[in-house]
Amino acid sequence: MEVSSAEAALSVSASSIRITDVTQDGDVLTFALTSQKLDSSAGVCVFRIYEDFDWLQQSLFSQENLPGLQGIIFPPLPSKALPSQSNTQTKALKQLGFLALGQDWQSYCKALEFYLQQVAAHPTLCKCKALDSFLFNSESPGKQRGRKGIFNRLSQAVEEMRKESHKDVDNFFQNERNKNTNLAALSKVATEKLLDVVMTEQKLALACGHFSTSLHLCVNQDDASAVAFSKVCLKLSDVIEAVKRNLEKVASNNLSTLGLGLDLESRYQEAEKEMLFRRTCKLIELETVKKGTEKAKANKREVLEAFQKAVEKEFNLISSVAKQEIERFHSSHVNVLKNFLIGWCEVQLNTAKEFAELYSQHLEACRNMYSE
């Protein structure tokens, strides 16, 4: 995410936010977090657990006196990771997708890092005091279970579905809702498919490992011909071992770049979906109120009209914030994907070069050996 210096209201430099370490104690992951205030050169390091992140998110949701808050596309927070042994890999994959893979929670930490950077880079959200406390207080701020936000996750209830498809009064928003529904679904599928690819790459690497080990066991020193054959088997074993490392690297590259990128994209589309849904709900509320006002008896009418005006004002505020958010989202999502695609391509290119070199060396060595 690009942070322009024009956003001087920030007290923290978004790009300086890093999760530098993670430790696991039973079921609890503790993250070491460093960041830098704009007006200082010193970094601040704090320790946080998932509940602290959740507290931050809830605090952002429940800010008061922020007009059109519901029109904001909130940076998506990854689900809580449950690292206990009883959690099988399939469960973890279902819950976290790509973020469950990789060594030592690297991807998960990266995702949390992105989350914080995006909050800090958001023109409105960065001003939230909760962010400051979260980043700079040595005490973990999550102790106080805050008020529950005014938002619920989109539930799958039938009623919600009906609301979701409610016709819009504004073409711009109707289009955006349609596109977003489409993109959200497609990016989710693409993420899942890439996950399948990575899992298979890992399985293939494992199979190579088994084969390589079996070849290693064929060593036999009984006589001259057995020795010659053993040498050949060992050579093949080495080659297969290289193939295994190759696959592991390719899988890890996919995971740490494109996988992470698609995962983020997919969750961000969902975040936009949630925002649009909130606006739609407000729209429904407004239309309901309007109908009520029309039907009202004369004595109630004035009150209801005032109420209607208030709702309308809220709705319009939400819509205007939403419009800005949508535009911001469109340009930033292109940038984010661009960076991930470049990163992915570069890292895979390097791996391909590395292993082309390695295999060539093996080939050269074999040709020399066997022509004797």
Partner 1 sequence: EDISSSSNGPKAEPMLLDHDPDDLFAEATEEVSLDSPERQMILSDGPSPAITPVTINPRADVFDRSPDQDEDEEENRDTFDIQISVSDPEKVGDGMNAYMAYKVTTKTSLSIFSRDEVCVKRRFSDFLGLHSKLASKYMHIGYIVPPAPEKSIVGQRLGRRSSAVTELDPDAKACLCCRYLLRTVKQPALLKDPDVLQFLESSELPRAVSTQALSGAGILRMVNKAADAVNKMTIKMNESDAWFEEKQQQFENLDVQLRKLHASVESLVFHRKELSVNTASFAKSAAMLGNSEDHTALSRALSQLAEVEEKIDQLHQDQACADFYLISELLGDYVRLITAVKGVFDQRMKTWAKCQDAQVMLQRKREAEAKLQHANKPDKLQQAKDEIREWEGKVQQGERDFEQISKNIRREVGRFEKDRVKDFRVVIIKYLESLVHTQQQLIKYWEAFLPEAKAIA
Binding site for partner 1 (CB under 8 A): 179, 182-183, 186-187, 189-190, 193-194, 196-197, 200-201, 203-204, 207-208, 210-211, 214-215, 217-218, 220, 222, 225-226, 228-229, 232-233, 235-236, 239, 243, 330, 334, 337-338, 341-342, 344-346, 348-349, 352-353, 355-356, 359-360, 362-363, 366-367, 370-371
Minimal distance, residue 307 CB to partner 1, in Å: 38
Closest CB to partner 1 among residues 11, 339? 339
Minimal distance, residue 185 CB to partner 1, in Å: 9
Closest CB to partner 1 among residues 115, 344? 344
Instruction: Specify burial of residue 260 (Cβ count, 10 A radius: 0-12, 13-18, 19+).
Output: buried
Minimal distance, residue 240 CB to partner 1, in Å: 8
Closest CB to partner 1 among residues 118, 187? 187
* HEC per residue, 41-87: CCEEEEEEEHHHHHHHHHHHHCCCCCCCHHHCCCCCCCCCCCCCCCC
Residue 28 — left, alpha, or beta (φ > 0 → left; ψ -120 to 50 → alpha)?
beta
Closest CB to partner 1 among residues 37, 362? 362
Closest CB to partner 1 among residues 25, 222? 222
At position 20, the amino acid (one-letter code) is T
Task: Give the tokens for residue 8.
Answer: 């001087």
Question: Which residues make Cβ contacts (< 8 Å) with residue 303, sequence separation at least 6?
Answer: none
Minimal distance, residue 118 CB to partner 1, in Å: 19
H or E element in which residue 314 lies? helix 298-370
CB 12 within 8 A of CB 35: yes
At 3 the three-state DSSP class reads coil
Minimal distance, residue 7 CB to partner 1, in Å: 22
